[in-house]
Amino acid sequence: MIVLVLVFCLSDTHDRCTEKRDAFAEFSSPLQCTMSAQGRAQEYLASHPRYMLARWRCEIDKPQERPA
């Protein structure tokens, strides 16, 4: 299973971050995951204007990490 993980931080304080995983967005290849990253980030940012995208990654069978 490949999952897209997006990490968003508050624009004014970069130390307050949240990690978002889309439980319904599992990909069959790393390329599919990579290609969907920008669109999914834009969707989140459109409804959460106080946040900015800090980083993203595609994980293959990896447990959830705590964002820094």
| pLDDT string in tens for the chain (68-residue length) | 889 999 999 988 878 999 998 766 678 888 999 998 899 999 999 999 999 999 999 988 766 666 55
**Residue 16 tokens, joined:** 């307050």
Domain ranges of the chain: 2-60
Residue 50's pLDDT is what? 93
**Residue 8 tokens, joined:** 């968003």
Which residues are bridge partners to 55 per DSSP? 7
CA-nearest of 16, 21, 17 to 63 is 21
